[in-house]
């Protein structure tokens, strides 16, 4: 199986199908919407790392003018979905070649007209898009294909283009949108080639430019146009490779397919005995491949990938905790780019720390270019009063800085690239540790440092003290600051000297060491359970169904001051369980198991980041069959409709790359049991009972390994 496919058109699934059939190449993402859709149906070409703000609305990523816009006219009537009901409809996505296809038939007054279209975001040239659009009628008559560039784009908090420049030059159509906040230009150009005689004219309005291609059709003859398009911006790192004038659709398609084949040679995972799981996992990997910032400087991956402006197109801790593992073992240069984004945006993190009266670097909860904090203090809307609700995501989720330090550790272990420390990584880690040092508190009669007034991974409980996950991550940050500073002192002495002059490391590092030793780390109680935060055990021990039944409106936010979960033990996502899975060597299997059994029934899994952590920890306890449904929940996050799309009145739909990255982690680090010991991969498998084996390739410290696992054997060979 290599395709996702539908055979029926359902208007209510337009938003889901935009995510489900998404194509992309890291520079932009093309939602899997239909060619005739206008902004009401949420089509977009979402740009990586380009942002704009309109007035006092949320700042968000920018969507480019749409050069794929196409529809047909028969008998003077426009035939398009969902405006005109169709006779039949098929839509599919080939995940191994990155090609989207649709086939739709309508009954017109003259007879049946059939449209087929294939399109792709070029993986070989990140600026290019190709589309082949065909029309066939079962009658002799006349049909128009209307195709061009639609500059009236879908925006959640726009419009972001305050000026549109429209032109036609030597049969090349062009629309350039200029953003209001920063004056960034985003340009779409396209040309069309036909294989038939037609009357072609061009029309413009103040936002768009189109061709009208009039065809006198013969019964059952197929009429095809081939469109090549290029997207570029005024802030591009790399110039446009493809000259739109000389671009050839078939060559562009073949080049893209070949590029996809090279990616899949390393990234595909095979599972013996479970075709459904194999496809779900590789579909997740497909999405990760679509959004990787290859050949881009200071770019990272947004929480919803390139599926639109949801979550403001911002970068969260999701990237470092749930996505980077995949890239560092398949495309290490992409993983390094993700970390370089954090190095390059440290001034934004410093500015945020200073805003809150802290030292060092406090990385943004919703990071945009330059590390700008995109998160507002009022981040959702009360469904009853329709008023903005005060939340503390922006203020109190201190654990994001430690997630970045944790990612440096994972990357260095996987690649052996300690050089990144001398490229700014060490200073980033030191600045994160300085921020945490300024958070520490000691009671007058206390011996241990505490951390108060935080929001942990479980966002339903705000402003808590001594969140177990947060404290453990802070300890880890201090430890790595000590370890890596010692490393650069020995290996990169000149860089160390510069940092020592700036930070007085001879005095600072002993403080980090003491902080790591003396911070409060929650221990298991007499029942083996680690309390999530101070006072958690004293909250109402209600079940998830009980709390859900208290909702008056299904779009209510469960957390915050008045949320239905706030005064209960029901949590949004893995918190203690995430900590245990990340520091598995610190705890016995018995402690892991007891905490799994305690927290899983109390977890709503209201975040796509949750299930994979429970799956991973279940593997670490040796219970792969318990891990399996949670793995499938993570791997299938974008396979079927029904996921959480609203927080209050805020739309949060889109793809779920953190869940997809988490599925890879659960499969490769959980079921396959991958670990890196002394620079080499080892596997201690824990396969579901119905799996016969796994095969995958993996890069460890510059070497490509083929891993072949069966029920009774593990074979790891250098390729």
Active site residues: 459
Cα–Cα distance, 95 to 3 (Å, whole number): 6
Torsion angle defined by CA atoms of residues 625, 626, 630 and 631, in that order, rounded to the nearest 10 degrees: -30
Contact yes or no for 137/113 (Cβ under 8 A) = yes
The CB density around residue 672, as the number of other CB atoms within 10 Å, is: 25
Report how far residue 119's alpha carbon sits from residue 714's, in angstroms, rounded to the nearest whole number. 41
**Within its chain, how far is the Cα of 243 from the centroid?**
30
Residue 450's Cβ-side half-sphere holds a number of Cα atoms within 13 Å equal to 13
Q: Which of 367, 285, 390, 273 is nearest to 318 (CA)?
A: 367
Distance CA 342, CA 337 (A): 9
Query: Residue 416 burial (CB < 10 Å; 0-12/13-18/19+)?
Result: middle
Q: How far is the CA of 451 from the CAs of 418, 463, 508, 580, 629, in angstroms? A: 31, 11, 20, 19, 35
CB 162 within 8 A of CB 185: no
Is 643 within 8 Å of 655 (Cβ atoms)? Answer: no
User: 436, 398 in Cβ contact below 8 A?
Assistant: yes
Is the distance from CB of 613 to CB of 578 less than 8 angstroms?
Answer: yes
Q: Which residues pair with 123 in a beta bridge?
A: none
Which has the closest alpha carbon to 60: 313, 279, 275? Answer: 313
In Å, the largest CA–CA distance within the chain is 92
| Of the candidates 715, 708, 714, the residue with the CA atom closest to the CA atom of residue 694 | 708
CA nearest 97: which of 273, 269, 252? 252
- Comparing CA positions, the residue from 165, 228, 177, 207 lying closest to residue 50 is 177
> How many CB atoms are located within 10 Å of the residue 190 CB?
28
Provide the CB-side half-sphere exposure for 140 (13 A, CA): 1
370 SS3 class: helix
**Which of 44, 39, 36 shows the shortest CA–CA distance to 77?**
36
């Amino acid at each position: 199986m290599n395709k996702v496919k539908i055979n029926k058109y359902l208007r209510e699934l337009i938003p889901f199908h935009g995510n489900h059939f998404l194509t992309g190449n890291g520079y932009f993402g093309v939602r899997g919407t239909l060619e005739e859709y206008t902004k009401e149906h949420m089509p977009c070409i979402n740009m990586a790392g380009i942002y704009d703000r309109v007035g006092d609305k949320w700042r968000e990523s920018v969507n480019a003018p749409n050069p794929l816009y196409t529809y047909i006219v028969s008998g003077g009537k426009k035939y398009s979905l969902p405006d005109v009901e169709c006779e039949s409809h098929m839509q599919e996505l080939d995940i191994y070649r990155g090609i989207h296809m649709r086939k739709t038939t309508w009954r017109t007054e003259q007879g049946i007209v059939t449209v087929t279209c294939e399109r792709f975001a070029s993986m070989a040239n990140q600026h290019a898009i190709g589309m082949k659009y065909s029309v066939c009628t079962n009658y002799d008559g006349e049909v128009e294909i209307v195709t061009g560039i639609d500059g009236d784009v879908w925006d959640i908090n726009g419009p972001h283009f305050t000026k549109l420049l429209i032109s036609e030059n030597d049969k090349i159509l062009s629309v350039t949108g200029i953003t209001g906040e920063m004056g960034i230009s985003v340009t779409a150009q396209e040309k069309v080639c036909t294989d038939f005689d037609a009357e072609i004219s061009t029309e413009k309005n103040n936002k768009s430019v189109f061709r009208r291609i009039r065809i006198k059709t013969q019964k059952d003859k197929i009429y095809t146009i081939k469109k090549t398009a290029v997207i570029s911006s005024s802030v591009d790192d790399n110039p446009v490779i493809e000259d739109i004038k000389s671009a050839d659709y078939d060559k562009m398609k073949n080049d893209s397919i070949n590029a996809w084949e090279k990616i899949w040679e390393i990234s595909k995972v095979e599972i013996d005995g479970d075709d459904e799981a194999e496809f779900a996992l590789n579909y997740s990997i497909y999405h990760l491949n679509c959004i990787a910032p290859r050949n881009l400087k200071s770019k990272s991956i947004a929480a919803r990938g390139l599926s639109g402006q949801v979550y403001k197109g911002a970068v969260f801790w999701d990237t470092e905790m749930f996505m980077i593992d995949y890239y560092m073992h398949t495309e290490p240069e992409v993983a390094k780019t993700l970390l370089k984004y954090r190095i390059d945006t440290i001034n934004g993190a410093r500015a945020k720390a200073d805003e809150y009266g802290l030292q060092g670097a406090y990385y943004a909860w919703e990071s945009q270019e330059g590390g700008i904090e995109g998160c507002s203090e009022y981040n959702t809307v009360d469904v009853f009063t329709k008023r903005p609700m005060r939340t503390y995501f922006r203020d109190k989720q201190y654990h994001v800085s430690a997630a970045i330090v944790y990612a440096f550790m994972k990357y260095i272990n996987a690649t052996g690239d300690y050089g990144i420390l001398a490229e700014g990584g060490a200073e980033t880690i030191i600045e994160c540790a300085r921020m945490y040092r300024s958070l520490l508190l000691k009671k007058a009669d206390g011996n241990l440092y505490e951390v108060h007034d935080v929001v942990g991974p479980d966002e339903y409980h705000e402003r808590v003290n001594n969140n177990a996950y947060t404290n453990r991550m802070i300890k880890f940050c201090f430890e790595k600051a000590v370890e890596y500073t010692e490393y650069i002192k020995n290996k990169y002495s000149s860089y160390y000297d510069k940092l020592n002059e700036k930070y007085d490391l001879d005095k600072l590092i002993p403080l980090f060491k003491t902080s790591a030793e003396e911070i409060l780390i929650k221990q298991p109680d007499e029942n083996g359970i680690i309390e999530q935060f101070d006072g958690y055990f004293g909250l109402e021990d209600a079940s998830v169904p009980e709390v859900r039944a208290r909702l008056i409106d299904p779009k209510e936010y469960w957390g915050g001051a008045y949320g239905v979960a706030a005064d209960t033990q029901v949590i949004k996502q893995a918190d203690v369980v995430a900590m245990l899975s990340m520091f598995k060597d610190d705890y016995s299997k018995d402690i892991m198991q007891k905490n799994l059994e305690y927290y899983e029934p109390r977890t709503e899994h209201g975040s796509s980041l949750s299930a994979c952590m429970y799956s991973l920890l279940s593997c670490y306890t040796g219970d792969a069959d318990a891990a399996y449904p949670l793995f499938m929940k993570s791997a299938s996050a974008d396979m079927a409709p029904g996921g959480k799309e609203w927080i209050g009145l805020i739309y949060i739909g889109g793809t779920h790359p953190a869940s997809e990255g988490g599925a890879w982690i659960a499969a490769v680090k959980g079921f396959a049991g991958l670990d890196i010991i002394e620079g080499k991969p080892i596997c201690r498998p824990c396969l579901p009972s119905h799996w016969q084996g796994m095969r995958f390739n993996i890069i460890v410290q510059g070497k490509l390994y083929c891993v072949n696992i069966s029920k009774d054997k593990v074979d790891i060979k250098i390729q």
